[in-house]
Amino acid sequence: MQGLSQTMASRRVLWVMMFFCVVRMSSAKVRLVNNGYEGVIIAINPNIKENTAILRRLEIFLTATSATLFKATKNQLYFREFIVFVPESWKSRQHYENSLDVELDRAQIIVDRSNPGYGDAPYVKQYAECGSPGLYIHLTPGYLLDDAVIQKWGRPEKTLVHEWAHLRWGLFDEYPIDAQDDAFYRYAGLWQPTRCSTEVDGSILNEYTSGSCKFDFFTGKPEKDCRFFPRMAANKAASSLMFMQYLDSIVAFCDDPVTAPRHLKHNFLAPNRQNRLCQYKSAWEVMRKHPDFAKRKKPLPRNTDTRPRFRYVQAHPRKRVLVLDTSGSMTGASLSVMKQAASNYILSCIETGSRLGIVQFSTNATALSPLTEVKSENDRFSLIDSLPTNADGKTSIGSGLKKGVE
C-alpha cells in the first residue's frame, strides 16, 4: 500500500507540475469561422532584434497567401485573422495590445533564427502520421527580408500555402527527399522522374554540371548524379503545390488519379513521402477527410474578400512562483518525481524574460529562490540548483501559498 500511495502521489505531483505546459500547447486552437481561419498565432522569438520591416513583410506575404489558399482550396478556405506576438524587448507602439499570455509554443508560425539543418528555408516539423498536424511553421528574418533568399523557393504566398498544408492537414512532400525516395522510377519500361503531376515538364541533367546525364548501360536508369529539372517557364502542369510550388504554373493540389483532370491527377507511382506515408493518396484525398473540408457545403463566391486582419500583441514579463510541498508525506519517490517535474518545467516551459521564484512548505514556508529573471540557460540551471533536497515535517499548504503570494 505504501508503494501504491507513493506512486499515486508522484503522479499527482507530476500532473500539477506539467499542467501549465500541457494547457499552453492544447489551448491554442485555430478557429474556422465562415470558411476563414481566425486566431492564427505568429510568435517572434525574443532573440530577434527589433525590425518593423519583419511585420510589414508578414502582412504582405500572408495577405497574398490568403488569396492563394482560397484559390488552391477551390474557393473554400482563407485566412481571416492573424495574431502577431511582438517581443517584449521591442519598442511599444500605440496599436500593440498588451498581454500576459505570449508563449512561443502556442504559435502556428514562429519567426526565429535560422536552423543549421535548414538555413533560411521555411519548414514544418512533422512527427505524426498522415493527416495529423505538424508542430509549427518556422520562418527566419532572412527569408522574410532578403529577396534573393525568397526567390530560392519561389513566390512566398505559394511557399506558405505549401507549409500550411504540412502544418494543418498533415500532407507530405511529393519530391524525393529521403534515402528511400528514389529520384526516378520505372513504369511501362521507361524511367520516369519522381514528380506530381506527371504533366510537369522538364529535363534530366547532371545536378553538378547541368550537363547531359549518363544512363546505366544495363538498366537504362539515370545514374546517381542525375536529377529532374523542371521547365521554369511555359510549364503546363497546374499541380502539385506539394511538389514544386515555385513553378509559375503550379496553383493547385493533386487530386484523384482516376477522376481528376489530367493536369491535376495524382501520381501514385512516384516514390515520395506523400505516397509512402499516406498510402498513395493524393493531397485532396487526405484534405477532404480533414474537418476543415468535411463540413464545407459549397465554395464561396469568387469575389470573396480574403484579406486578413492583423492584431499585434506585446507581452509583459510573467511572474510565477513554484510552491513545492516538502512535508514528510513527500519523502522517497514523491520528492524525486516532484524535483524532476520541476526541473522539466524550468527548462522547457518558462519563457525567456519571465521571472520565477521557488517556495517550499512543510510545517512552515521558506523562499528557496527570490523572483529571478530567466535570461539564459545558466539562470535556469541556477533555479534548478535551488530545488529542495529533503522532505520532513507537517503539511501547511496555507503557509506555502501565503509565502508564494509575498
Residues with a catalytic annotation lie at: 163
Judge whether 125 and 108 are in contact, CB under 8 Å: no
Dist CA 312 CA 54 (whole Å): 13
**110 bridge partner residues:** 43, 138
Half-sphere exposure of 144 (CA within 13 A, CB side): 24
Judge whether 227 and 183 are in contact, CB under 8 Å: yes
Judge whether 43 and 111 are in contact, CB under 8 Å: yes
Task: Assign 3-state DSSP to the chain and report helix, strand, coil percentages, each to 5.
Answer: 30, 20, 45
**Long-range contact pairs involving 112-120 (C-beta distance under 8 Å, separation at least 24):** 112/44, 112/45, 112/47, 112/48, 112/138, 112/139, 112/140, 113/45, 113/47, 113/48, 113/140, 113/141, 114/140, 114/142, 120/146, 120/149
